[in-house]
Amino acid sequence: FLINLPNLKCPIVGIFHDFNYKYYFAGQPTYFPNQLKHLNKNVPLWLKNTYPVVSNNFIKNEVKKFYPEFYKKTNVINLGPYSAKIANKNKKIKIKEFKFKYILCPTNLCGHKNLGILLVAFNKVSKIFPKLKLVLTGPYTDLVNGKSSVTGLELVDQKRNIIGLGYVADDLLENLISNSLMVLSPSVYEADNGPCTDAWYHSVPVAMANIPSNLEHIKNQKVHASLFDPYDYLSVSNAIIKVLKKYKYYKQLAKISKKNISQNYTWVKTASAYYKLF
């Protein structure tokens, strides 16, 4: 995004994450007007003058929707799990201070991440599991700290059960994922689902939105998740509660997910596919 096509004499491979600038979701738009102008002008140039690569079939179909003339030339190369085994000796990691049980949502404040619905849903969850906390990571999530309520969140210091950490280092994020009870993904628009991929890699149960890209993970990678309607806070809360009440069952499914994703989706396969394309 927001990069001009370079004037090169050699072939170019262009990797396109998603096309979220073609939508308006909620709240403040993801891009400023000058950025949108740049994207709408330059992305077609990138598609025309490169060998396009996307990470799944859903995003390839987005190419078909918005730029149909480049659909056939677009390549799908799946990604492997983002996490590696934890081998961290960084003394700045403070995961040991988390002496409470928590569920985790790595996210940001953009509209398509659907954070508002999750906060309202967690208020219902907290009525049944009052000691449970919701931890958020990602850019500017440090602004989201307080007590859950029927409107989402009260920005107070007392009785906080929603904790926003902001953008954190990779090793801390990996510790947070592997030590969480569950990883959540309420987003209404995604390409490859990084947080859930990491959760599956660490045998952590997942609750995520019932959207095409997530269903593609389940079908192709043979992983498991508690699905919910991302536009219905009751559906979100019920999916979370279901996992917590039947935790041993979902933990076992998470272990199966780890086995399947580790065998079927490796970075060796990803690298081989790119090598073939090159």
Q: What is the pLDDT of residues 172-187, one digit of tens each?
A: 898 899 999 999 999 9
Q: What is the pLDDT of residues 56-102, one digit of tens each?
A: 999 999 999 999 999 999 999 999 888 755 544 444 445 555 778 99
The strand pairing partners of 164, in sequence order, are 136
Going by the DSSP 8-state scheme, the letter that residue 28 receives in this structure is S
Report the C-alpha dihedral over residues 235, 28, 161, 250, rounded to 10 degrees. Answer: 40
Q: What would the mean pLDDT of 120-149 be, rounded to a whole number?
A: 96
Q: Write down the H helix ranges in the chain.
A: 33-49, 57-66, 115-128, 170-178, 194-201, 212-221, 233-245, 247-264, 267-277
pTM, two decimals, is 0.92
Q: What is the pLDDT of residues 90-113, one digit of tens each?
A: 444 455 557 789 999 999 999 999
Complete DSSP assignment for 78-137: ----S--------TT--GGG--S-EEEEE--SSGGG-HHHHHHHHHHHHHHSTT-EEEEE
Alpha-carbon gap, residue 149 to 133, rounded angstroms: 13
Task: Report yes or no: 18 and 62 within 8 Å, Cβ to Cβ.
Answer: yes
Going by the DSSP 8-state scheme, the letter that residue 31 receives in this structure is S
Question: What pLDDT score was predicted for residue 83?
Answer: 78
Asked if residue 212 has pLDDT above 90, the reply is yes
Going by the DSSP 8-state scheme, the letter that residue 154 receives in this structure is E
Alpha-carbon gap, residue 229 to 138, rounded angstroms: 23
